[in-house]
Structure 1
Amino acid sequence: MLGKIARKVFGTPNDRKIKATRPLVEKISALESDFEKLDDAGLIAKTEEFKKRVAEGESLDALLPEAFANCREAAKRALGLRAFDTQLMGGIFLHQGNIAEMKTGEGKTLVATFPAYLNALTGRGVHIVTVNDYLAKRDAEWMSKVYGALGMTTGVVYPRQPDDEKKAAYASDITYATNNELGFDYLRDNMKSELSQINQKDHYFAIVDEVDSILIDEARTPLIISGPADDRSELYVGIDKLIPDLTDEHFSLDEKTRNVTFTDEGNEFLEQNLRARGMLPEGQTLYDPESTTIVHHVNQGLRAHKLFTKDKDYIVRDGEVVLIDEFTGRMMAGRRLSDGLHQAIEAKEGCQIQPENVTLASVTFQNYFRLYDKLGGMTGTAVTEAEEFMEIYGLGVVEVPTNRPIARIDDDDAVYRTAREKYEAIVKQIGESHAKGQPVLVGTTSIEKSEMLSQMLTAAGHKHNVLNARQHEQEAQIVADAGKLGAVTIATNMAGRGTDIKLGGNVEFKIMEAIAADPDGDPEAIRERIETEHKADEQAVKDAGGLYVLATERHESRRIDNQLRGRSGRQGDPGRSSFYLSLEDDLMRIFGSERLEKVLSTLGMKEGEAIVHPWVNKSLERAQAKVEGRNFDIRKQLLKFDDVMNDQRKVIFSQRREIMEAKDLSEIVQDMRHEVIDDLVDTYAPPKAYADQWNVQGLYAACIEKLGIDVPVMGWAEEDGVDQDVIRERLEDASDKLMAEKAEAFGPDTMRQIEKQVLLQTIDAKWREHLLTLEHLRSVVGFRGYAQRDPLNEYKTEAFQLFEGLLEGLREQVTTQLSQVRPMTEEEQRAMMQQLAQQQAKLQQAAQQAQAAHEPVLPTAEDSTEAAPLVDGFDETNPDTWGNPGRNDPCPCGSGNKFKHCHGRLT
């Protein structure tokens, strides 16, 4: 009660934030007449003036009113759109590093231009992040007219983009891209070997469109760049044949946590069947350490069958399993589940099983977007996740008022006893709305349910469109038509993103269609006719009640429900929204349908009747809030573990950058070599040990293997007065002399380049091994909780020890590799060039053949075996004919592989 009174007197925190921006908005509006007087060149001249003032130290906040006024004028001229005051407010909040919650249809795409223009004046570049490639390209093309009128450059980044085009896009003042492409480019940049190849130069300011989808929904899955591992397709197929024979007593399924585990009966059943199929050796049980791999794959097979449903979690397209985003309903082409789960689903569906992958680099969206100095975001629904945005990203959420009051009517939820009764009521309601010409958007939670409802509507004789992942390419067109008179559109959650549903249909789409149908007609006359027709259609739809959003289920997250509801009632249009639910819905069934069922039974409801009451809404929202809280805790816990790896990732990536920027690494390499010598001396000639206790033979062998020097260590040990320090100095002198001779033989510039490449390649190899080790550590560290030890602290401690081991191994490997580098003879160089030319010719031929089929071009085993040997008289069975190649030299057989990976492989 007191809180309500205080809010009436002082206003809510949100009201106070809105109020604080009004003087700025008034200042921008007061400048409007001054900027209207400028010609087009004058707007660009203003940009140059602003850039100069920023360079001289003026703050962006001081420049904001003039910059926003200049941008508003440019948008008015380039697009014919004059930004509302509420759009300017949204732009101010974005510049301040907040999330602007703006309802659907309030013009968020234009809002982003204001803070993007202001911050781009620094010359550091601004990234505008969207949820898919279509929107990135559309928004970049549309808004580039505004930026162009201001003298700013615009770029767009998309998958499989040519390198020079991508580099130019990142070099632009404002760059549009998807979150996936930005994250992958960051990882790719940190796998490059030269500075000139790096695309992302800076992480200054990012504006994230649909910020809740990107920073919360998609943040549960890290981005991973991976390479193929060993093929285990037979194992997946064999295990998949076992799973259908399981009964309910063999496993326990927990739908709340999406977890499934084998029972003791299940383990016994598996052991018997695995032995019978020869997949588990006699005398070995599933509890033995040797069974770890098979247990892992059996668990993944069980998850594939019991937790992943076709046409809900994935679809099979052209013989390939394509994942479906549970929040947007979009296909995630190219995304694969890790740890063999994707392969288990491929085995289940009888698709070709792709090889498992090993992680080469990975990053979570949380840690990628926290790289930016400043972050802002826009969405129609963020308030329910305000706590998470603040805690993880330091982003405040501000509700920006609508330009016109919302006129939409939101009905209370209608709860039916069974799903059949619910769908019958939905079909009846659609028929009633369609009869009076009211457009209906029906929201479903899966492809399967959208197609089932489509069949029911077809049977009832109602014409309609279906929008789900199968119609991904026609998304914009179907959504644009959803507001037409009498239109019925069934959509999964993907319908909410990017394209406005305008009453009467999208006039621009109609004009484009009409011009395409009559290419010889006068475009202006066609535009005038279509616009006149559209006004009549728009009024007819308004008279019918506006867009009716009819949701067939509640989602786990209130945000997704609010997105769907927000499709109706844009810009003050009339509209209506209803949620039709049943006790058989997933959310109702898993979270508290028992109490409701008792209430419905007590009321003695008849067939087809529904309970409608505000209390039901509140009860459901509480259940949703609980699920959201649990999901937040899961994401928070995952992030705590990833933060450990992120600290190490930053160190490794910054080291790589320093190495690429350095012109001379000889001192770093020398320091590494001297540290290796310190370790060798401490190991084989420990401090406080007498000379006759030293392991002189071991030290001699280690010097040859790791330092490439043949020195009389045994003789030194017998000299009087020789201690560890003397040994250390002599080894340092000998190794320094060897490397100086190598530098002279190669030439200083070539030697510096070799040092750089060896360092980078070794860092990358060690980091890949480290990532794999951390993955395994993550999978087992949870069990430490049973011993009353905190898994997170255990993970931090062991991850730090592993990282120290990585750095130590790095020094040793770099030193060893550089000690074995030697110049090639002229004969070896000629043979190498000949072999490379042959391989290049074969690759080009393969590229031409594969181009039509879009196949990846990889060197085959055939390519390597036909190459001529590098050493005359090479005999595979006689090592004496191989010469004396170094471990990292090309193999003398002519395969093109390093000697250590070919005939010099240690078995």
Structure 2
Amino acid sequence: MVSLGAIARKFFGSANDRRVRGYRSSVEAISALEEKMKALTDEQLAAKSVEFRQELANGKTVEDILVPAFAVVREAARRVLGMRPFDVQLTGGMILNQGAIAEMKTGEGKTLVATLPVYLNALTGRGVHVVTVNDYLASRDAGIMSRLYGFLGLTTGVIVHGLDDDQRRAAYACDITYATNNELGFDYLRDNMKYDRGQMVQRGHYFAIVDEVDSILVDEARTPLIISGPLDDRSELYNTIDSFIPALTPEDYEIDEKQRSANFSEVGTEKLENLLRQAGLLKGESLYDVENVAIVHHINNALKAHKLFQRDKDYIVRNDEIVIIDEFTGRMMPGRRYSEGQHQALEAKEKVQIQPENQTLASITFQNYFRMYEKLAGMTGTAATEAEEFSNIYGLDVVEVPTNLPIQRIDESDEVYRTAEEKFKAIIEEIKAAHEKGQPVLVGTTSIEKSELLAAMLKQAGFEKFNVLNARYHEQEAYIVSQAGVPGAVTIATNMAGRGTDIQLGGNIDMRLERELDGMEPGPERDAKEAAIRAEVKQLKEKALAAGGLYVLATERHESRRIDNQLRGRSGRQGDPGRSKFYLSLQDDLMRIFGSDRMDSMLQKLGLKDGEAIVHPWINKALERAQKKVEARNFDIRKNLLKYDDVTNDQRKVIFEQRIELMDATDLTETVTDMRHEVIEILVTKHIPERAYAEQWDAVGLKEAVLQQLNLDLPIQDWVLEEGIAEDDIRERITAAADAAAKDRAERFGAEIMTYVERSVLLQTLDHLWREHIVNLDHLRSVVGFRGYAQRDPLQEYKAEAFELFQALLANLREGVTAQLMRVELMRDEPEAPQPPPVMQVHHLDATTGEDEFGQNGGGFMAVAAPEDRDPNDPQTWGRVGRNEPCPCGSGKKYKHCHGAFEQA
């Protein structure tokens, strides 16, 4: 029976169709200007940018000039890149300009679509950020599109891993900046750890377009970005605890693969207590006594390392290091580490060198970072399934853009086998059949292990030529992917999300030309070679088309339907024919975790023979339901993470805004005076309670507190003995003495140096307390969930206690700053840059498991620098300097007496 909604959609179109139709008049207006733009010379076309900028300066908005600006970009792209944006690409550009997500199928030219709103918004001069998922795509897209932007008079920068601050500052100062999501987030955090406004690299958050928006704002948004510093080495402890795990039996622990959790049973706990007692690591009687909290944390990590983390799936061992594999892209993440001791537990398991743990110095979630932009937009091939999340969290609508040509790909029903062995046999036979008729095949796997198993099986079956694309070989991934459409090609790929390279039937001409003509001088020989390559690719494309186009053959369903759709979307680009099919077995992770035992027994009863598959639309629907359950759980995790981080984010904004105000201030006397007076007020109130008799006053305690906090030895006991003295008089005398000492110090230092010293003390104390505060909030979050058992809302409890902790931070700031400024003595003549923080690393922490999936090594910034690498004139190159080392500036003094700022008396 057809629903009323379906009938209405047939007559009136869906809401999405109506929205897309709404752009038609603008598309027609842009097309009407095409001949006019073609008639302009290159100089006249480029001069349009100056004209548009003047119009914006005169009060017009970007929407007012959208039609002529898009017309200019269309013509410039035709001349510079040899690509003319289709009408659907203009529609996609308008969707992005409105701050929405354009869902465009693979091969529809999203990179070119972005140039339209990027150019339009860059004319404001406020900077536009184009966000990609990896350094390769950022560099590639910036390299290609900078030709277009340069032609139109705009500058382009690119931010990738390994750049120094000057290079980053220059890239952010450009009209358009291409960067990865990680680099943008980490630059924001690092900027808010700087001690001088001029050292900051970013210049604001106006407009960002996020490529592969579902990958960045959904998949990676489960994990916050973290900058951390090292703690003491505890490698011996990790090795000792790791040695206990092999002694355990399955009855000693419980594993939950759905939740990615591992816990010890009562039997296992008792066994561990005996092992720990023998090793001298157990304090008290029970493992769960409060003094054993750290030990419990470490043994849980060790259990997870052995029972939940699989080598060659979650990580690989290379060059005596544990290298994480990104579950979404299958890429290696060199230098990136799991946090909270999990990486160290894996290092102990694999018997490689154990690196020290880290302490959090600064963190932010992608949700809160990207919500800072005044205007945010995104593009991807698969966003509709996550439309609710984009709307709820980011306020982004998802608009499906029609393809330029109708999709001809045939999506077949899944084939389900009883065992993995039967499934792989069927896959080999299917690959053979496709290969024999010259059809290119892209085989999708979910792990390195499975891709290499399939590769070994193909070799046994007599296949000589095929490519394996996974984390081990990702250096050549772009070229391998680009040639996966050659007739008869077999390409095995571990997860295809975010690879960013188009699979064109017959092969990618541009990639072949770049590789095969490399080093050849311009001339007849090069021209002939290029013509031969073009003719060959054209011939190969015809063969691939005749064979049915690209065949996407998937060996397993991913937890997320979206990732499956991304793989499927590699076939059937730009109206090409294509085919896709998923092969499953009841032993696959998704099927196994979601209860395939009953299905297995049912299939056996129905008489399913070895090697036979069950194919039915009901199976597809059941799988879709299972995937939706996983996606809903992941959405809940992200929502929950965000609720808690919103509390931290409000406090983070206050602290970061305060830091900028302190860096911008030319005179901080009033700020530090107010702090000093508040400290005195609190000290007096504490030791002289309101309405108390004089004999009840704690004069001795007040004298000691004043000496400790204000560095003043005052005769407070003598004052109290004076008849008739009031607490207000005591407060005024202490205040007057403190103000006089501060004034004397300011006169000795001079106004400029005193302001520098005050700023340094304020910033360093604020940073130290903020880092401690982050750790306290982490600890609070880990325990506040238990309040639910007492019928109290954990989130409300967290908010209330986080506020109290923040109030304590502000009180500690007043006390710390006052105590230091009342003791500080100048040990040098000129103010210099403060000592940089210790060596730091950056991480991307999983909110539920503590796994640091995306965190990356800080690339050596603020690390210990070798003496030959230090520039005497640039403190930024010094890294950490020991306080008793000779100062790198060459003065001959010890660091603590020169650039090591000031000493406390």
Query: TM-score interval w.r.t. the shorter chain?
Result: over 0.9
Q: Which residues in structure 2 correspond to 1:648-797 (within 5 Å)? A: 648-797=651-800
Deviation at 1:461, TM superposition (A): 1.4
Cα contact 2:93–2:113 (8 A) shared by 1: yes
Which whole-Å CA distance do the structure 1 matches of 2:33 and 2:518 have between them?
Answer: 42
Code of the residue aligned with 2:52 in structure 1: it is F
Which whole-Å CA distance do the structure 2 matches of 1:765 and 1:677 have between them?
Answer: 23
**CA pair 825-437 structure 1, distance change in 2 beyond 3 A:** closer
2:855 maps to: none
Deviation at 1:524, TM superposition (A): 2.5
Superposed CA deviations along residues 627-659 of structure 1, whole A, max 9, x for unmatched, are: 111111111111111111111111100100111
**Pair 1:414-2:415 in alignment:** yes
Which whole-Å CA distance do the structure 1 matches of 2:380 and 2:828 have between them?
Answer: 64
Cα contact 2:104–2:401 (8 A) shared by 1: yes
Which whole-Å CA distance do the structure 2 matches of 1:825 and 1:154 have between them?
Answer: 43
Greater shift, 28-37 or 184-193, is seen at 28-37
Give SS of 1:61's match. Answer: coil
Q: Which residues in structure 2 correspond to 1:177-256 (within 5 Å)? A: 177-256=179-258
1:884 maps to: none
Q: Which residues in structure 2 correspond to 1:633-644 (within 5 Å)? A: 633-644=636-647
Deviation at 1:496, TM superposition (A): 5.1
Cα contact 1:672–1:815 (8 A) shared by 2: yes
**CA pair 825-245 structure 1, distance change in 2 beyond 3 A:** closer
Which whole-Å CA distance do the structure 2 matches of 1:895 and 1:229 have between them?
Answer: 25
Deviation at 1:520, TM superposition (A): 7.7
Which whole-Å CA distance do the structure 1 matches of 2:664 and 2:292 have between them?
Answer: 47
1:169 maps to: 171
Deviation at 1:514, TM superposition (A): 2.6
Cα contact 1:330–1:494 (8 A) shared by 2: no
1:623 maps to: 626
Cα contact 1:707–1:819 (8 A) shared by 2: yes
Cα contact 1:864–1:896 (8 A) shared by 2: no
1:300 maps to: 301
Which whole-Å CA distance do the structure 2 matches of 1:107 and 1:891 have between them?
Answer: 58
Give SS of 1:199's match. Answer: coil
2:853 maps to: none
Give SS of 1:62's match. Answer: coil
Give SS of 1:742's match. Answer: helix
Deviation at 1:596, TM superposition (A): 3.1
Which whole-Å CA distance do the structure 2 matches of 1:571 and 1:817 have between them?
Answer: 67
Greater fraction of residues in helix: 1
Which whole-Å CA distance do the structure 1 matches of 2:9 and 2:196 have between them?
Answer: 58
Which whole-Å CA distance do the structure 2 matches of 1:426 and 1:687 have between them?
Answer: 84
TM-score by length of structure 1 reads 0.92
Give SS of 1:112's match. Answer: helix
**CA pair 519-457 structure 1, distance change in 2 beyond 3 A:** farther
| Alignment gaps of 5+ in structure 1 | 833-841, 850-854, 872-888
Which whole-Å CA distance do the structure 2 matches of 1:891 and 1:47 have between them?
Answer: 53
1:532 maps to: 535
Q: Which residues in structure 2 correspond to 1:590-609 (within 5 Å)? A: 590-609=593-612
Q: Which residues in structure 2 correspond to 1:82-161 (within 5 Å)? A: 82-161=84-163
Give SS of 1:789's match. Answer: coil
TM-score by length of structure 2 reads 0.92
Which whole-Å CA distance do the structure 1 matches of 2:888 and 2:743 have between them?
Answer: 38
Question: How many residues are paired up?
Answer: 866
Q: Which residues in structure 2 correspond to 1:53-64 (within 5 Å)? A: 53-64=55-66
1:289 maps to: 290
Deviation at 1:898, TM superposition (A): 8.3
Which whole-Å CA distance do the structure 2 matches of 1:22 and 1:595 have between them?
Answer: 53
Cα contact 1:890–1:898 (8 A) shared by 2: no
Q: Which has the higher contact order (CA 8 A, sep 6+)?
A: 2
Which whole-Å CA distance do the structure 2 matches of 1:774 and 1:432 have between them?
Answer: 58
Which whole-Å CA distance do the structure 2 matches of 1:300 and 1:272 have between them?
Answer: 19
1:580 maps to: 583
Greater shift, 758-767 or 589-598, is seen at 589-598
**CA pair 866-569 structure 1, distance change in 2 beyond 3 A:** closer
Deviation at 1:595, TM superposition (A): 4.5
**CA pair 648-625 structure 1, distance change in 2 beyond 3 A:** same
Which whole-Å CA distance do the structure 2 matches of 1:848 and 1:738 have between them?
Answer: 39
Which whole-Å CA distance do the structure 2 matches of 1:825 and 1:299 have between them?
Answer: 51
Code of the residue aligned with 1:74 in structure 2: it is A
Which whole-Å CA distance do the structure 1 matches of 2:828 and 2:494 have between them?
Answer: 66
Superposed CA deviations along residues 818-848 of structure 1, whole A, max 9, x for unmatched, are: 0001233899x9xx9xxxxxxxxx9654649
2:807 maps to: 804
2:356 maps to: 355
**CA pair 861-657 structure 1, distance change in 2 beyond 3 A:** closer
**CA pair 452-825 structure 1, distance change in 2 beyond 3 A:** closer
Which whole-Å CA distance do the structure 2 matches of 1:689 and 1:627 have between them?
Answer: 63
Q: Report percent identity of matched pairs.
A: 62
Cα contact 2:133–2:498 (8 A) shared by 1: no
1:551 maps to: 554
Superposed CA deviations along residues 411-454 of structure 1, whole A, max 9, x for unmatched, are: 11000110000000001110111111111100000001000100
Superposed CA deviations along residues 155-180 of structure 1, whole A, max 9, x for unmatched, are: 00011202222111000000000000
Code of the residue aligned with 2:98 in structure 1: it is Q
Deviation at 1:692, TM superposition (A): 2.3
Code of the residue aligned with 2:772 in structure 1: it is E
Which whole-Å CA distance do the structure 2 matches of 1:614 and 1:264 have between them?
Answer: 45
Which whole-Å CA distance do the structure 2 matches of 1:349 and 1:58 have between them?
Answer: 63
| Alignment gaps of 5+ in structure 2 | 836-863, 872-876
Greater shift, 35-44 or 562-571, is seen at 35-44
Code of the residue aligned with 2:750 in structure 1: it is G
Q: 1:506 aligns with which of 505, 508, 511?
A: 508
Code of the residue aligned with 1:229 in structure 2: it is L
Deviation at 1:863, TM superposition (A): 5.1
**Pair 1:316-2:317 in alignment:** yes
Give SS of 1:584's match. Answer: coil
Code of the residue aligned with 2:131 in structure 1: it is V
1:881 maps to: none
**CA pair 616-844 structure 1, distance change in 2 beyond 3 A:** closer
RMSD over aligned CA atoms reads: 2.6
Greater shift, 523-532 or 105-114, is seen at 523-532
2:31 maps to: 29
Superposed CA deviations along residues 353-393 of structure 1, whole A, max 9, x for unmatched, are: 11000001011111111111111000000111111111111
Deviation at 1:713, TM superposition (A): 2.0
Give SS of 1:516's match. Answer: coil
Q: Which residues in structure 2 correspond to 1:321-400 (within 5 Å)? A: 321-400=322-401
